[in-house]
Amino acid sequence: MRTITFTDFRKKASGFITEVEHGETLILLRRGKPVAEIIPFTDKIRRTPSWKQPGIQLKIQGEQPIFRYPG
């Protein structure tokens, strides 16, 4: 993992993207605070976004679910 300033990223973006292609993770700083994480793309992990995952179910003992979060 490597930390770089946003200004440096703008000036040398092509080189940094090449590093990411080779597996490096970059943390971008703007005014000393982290604003972005650039990670290599992978097709191996296909996660469902949390807002599309099934929600919790509330149930009274011995009853059918009384509320199911739409998902």
pLDDT at 29 over 80: yes
Instruction: Give the whole-angstrom CA distance, residue 21 versus residue 23.
Output: 5
pLDDT at 69 over 80: no
Tens-digit pLDDT profile for residues 37-67: 999 887 666 677 777 777 777 767 766 655 6
Return the residue matching tokens 């982290």. Answer: 34
pLDDT at 34 over 90: yes
Q: What is the pLDDT of residue 53?
A: 77
Mean pLDDT of the chain: 83
pLDDT at 1 over 60: yes
Structural domains in the chain?
1-42 (3.40.1620.10)
Instruction: Give the whole-angstrom CA distance, residue 19 versus residue 3.
Output: 12
Q: Give the H/E segment covering residue 14.
A: helix 13-21
Asked whether the beta carbons of 25 and 37 are under 8 A apart, the reply is yes
CA angle in degrees (0–180, nearest 5) for 16-26-32: 110
